[in-house]
Structures are given as C-alpha cells and as structure tokens.
Amino acid sequence: MNILFFVHTMISIISLNWTVFTSDKGGFSVLAPGDLVYVVNEIPTSSGEIAFHNYSYRAQDTTEQVFLYSVTHYTLPISALHPDSVVVAADLFDETLNTISERIRGEVLYTQEEKWQDFPARISRVKYNDGQYSLKNKMILANDQIYLIEVFSSYDSGAEFKIRKFINSFNLLE
C-alpha cells in the first residue's frame, strides 16, 4: 500500500508544471501554477493612502481543489515602524488576520509565530463557508514591507501539497 501512495505522490509532483514567477518591483519570487496577474489598489488609512500590490492566479478549472494563489505586499507607513519589530509584527499580524477572517466570515483554526529568514512571520489557517473552504496564509514583516502569501482551496487534505509548494517557495530577491 505504501508503494502505491509513493507512486501517486511522485506522479502528482511530476505533473505539476509550475514556473518561477519573479516580481522585481515587489522584490520576491514564488513558484506558481500559472501567470500571476498584477493589480494595485490604493487603500485609505489613518496614516494616508497605502498601495496594496497584489499578484494572483485563479485556477481556470472549476473542479480544482486549490482555486486561488496570491501574494500581496505593501509598505508600512513610517508611523507604524517601531524599533521593536517583534511587537509591531505581532500587532500587524493580529490585525491582518482579524480583518481577513471577518471579510470572509471565517473561523481561525490556528495561527503560529515563526521566523522566516530572520524576519518575523506567522502562518495561519482560516476555514469559511461552513467549513467548505480554507485559506492558508503566511505573513512576513521584512524591513518596511508586509508580505501576505495566501492560498484559497476547498477544505480537503488532498490540496495540501500544492498549498505548501506555493507558500514555501516564496523568496525575497537580494
């Protein structure tokens, strides 16, 4: 039985024809199943307008378990910067996760602090639509940028390989 699982896993890996997407302006690269579409939105805040840069790929096949891959980044306002980046990161991550879960009317299943290339990061999962769908994301505070790497999928363990592949392939450019 284990050999059958191994063969199935290897076929799944080989059949994923992903390519490296690089954003020089965003300063990152990530493996993606297709071309990421770039959109920038100006959002008014108490600190002034902030430009949210979003790169996303939406699956064309409606039966696909993972249907949206996304990387969003924005520059923190000067007023948000604090010498203790761990405190700033925790507050920003809390606020971001609360906003996301309220927007999709979801329930946070878990959230875990971690370090990513010496930067504060947090990985989280939110289930929504009566548990039918899931959002897994990683938030990273790197210098004056917040990066939000997100994957939306049906709530199915079979999608986890693609979710991890996208999130774990994220890299900052030097």
Span 136-141, mean pLDDT?
96
Instruction: Look at residue 105 and tell me whether its pLDDT is greater than 90.
Output: yes
Instruction: Look at residue 92 and tell me whether its pLDDT is greater than 50.
Output: yes
Instruction: Look at residue 167 and tell me whether its pLDDT is greater than 70.
Output: yes
Span 75-102, mean pLDDT?
76
Task: Work out the pLDDT band at 62, boundaries 50, 70, 90.
Answer: confident
Residue 81 is predicted with a pLDDT of 53
Look at residue 143 and give its three-state secondary structure: coil
- The CATH code belonging to domain 19-172 is 3.40.1000.10
Look at residue 26 and give its three-state secondary structure: coil
Separation of alpha carbons 69 and 90, rounded Å: 24
Q: How is the chain split into domains, by residue range? A: 19-172
Span 80-95, mean pLDDT?
71
The 8 Å CB, 24+ separation contacts for 115-119 are 116/140, 117/142, 117/172, 119/143
Could you tell me which of 138, 96, 137 has the C-alpha nearest to residue 121?
138
| Exposure of 139 in the CB half-sphere (CA atoms within 13 A) | 23
State the DSSP string of 72-84: EEEEPPGGG--S-
- pLDDT tens-digit series, residues 2-56: 564 444 445 444 556 899 999 999 999 999 999 999 999 998 776 678 899 999 9
| 50 contacts 43 by C-beta, under 8 angstroms | yes
pTM, two decimals, is: 0.83
Separation of alpha carbons 118 and 105, rounded Å: 32
Residue 158 is predicted with a pLDDT of 74
